[in-house]
Amino acid sequence: MSSVPVQTRKFPATGVPVGNAFGPLLSISNAPRLGPQPNSLDNAVSCATHWVRMSDGRRADAMWLEAGAMMQKMVPRAEWVRYLRKIRLDRGQLVGREWFEVTRVRDPVGLPAGDYLNVIFVSHYTRAVLFETVSLAPGGTGSGNWLPVGYVIRPVQREIAFAQ
């Protein structure tokens, strides 16, 4: 019986075979440094969730006080309280709410230039299914460095089946 030489492959410390063009990109030395991420999406969703829960508790004054100075300058406190009362009418009790989407908005009309986030929830009430959108700006010191700057509620549109 003759023996066949076995080829051995050398692997760098990362475990990526030599000759792989992506090896250097996958090495530990090039990995991003993970740590506290003050403006993370998790913090944005947490901040927005806190804000909609204040709406559930009919705490419009507290919402306004926790909002960014930008919103406080644009919307007087009394007007904010009236707005919240109006949008809470006719939807009934909250049955459930789920986080739906986070979208980035760059340089929105009517606000200072910059990057903002909209955290959108699908909220089920006894008499309505609604999208609740909390708009956030970076820069707060609490709530994960995001500041609420807007809150909009709109109905979820049902799909329309067309006759063929």
| 122-162 residue pLDDT tens | 999 998 899 999 999 987 555 458 999 999 999 988 655 56
The predicted-structure confidence for 33-54, as pLDDT tens digits, reads as follows 444 445 688 999 999 999 999 9
- pLDDT above 80 (res 75): yes
For 70-86, b where at least 16 C-beta lie within 10 A, e where not — what string? ebeeeeeeeebeebbee
Distance, in Å, from the CA atom of 153 to the CA atom of 76, rounded to the nearest integer, reads: 19
| Structural domains in the chain, sorted by start | 38-155 (3.10.450.590)
Whole-model pTM?
0.70
Residue 18 tokens read as 């030599």
* β-bridge mates for residue 116, sequence order: 105
Distance, in Å, from the CA atom of 99 to the CA atom of 141, rounded to the nearest integer, reads: 23
The predicted-structure confidence for 88-99, as pLDDT tens digits, reads as follows 777 888 999 999
pLDDT of the residue at 123: 95
Distance, in Å, from the CA atom of 135 to the CA atom of 32, rounded to the nearest integer, reads: 28
* β-bridge mates for residue 103, sequence order: 118
Distance, in Å, from the CA atom of 71 to the CA atom of 77, rounded to the nearest integer, reads: 10
pLDDT of the residue at 10: 47
The predicted-structure confidence for 17-37, as pLDDT tens digits, reads as follows 444 444 444 444 444 444 444
pLDDT of the residue at 87: 81
Picking from 139, 119, 133, the residue whose alpha carbon sits closest to that of residue 69 is 139
pLDDT of the residue at 31: 43
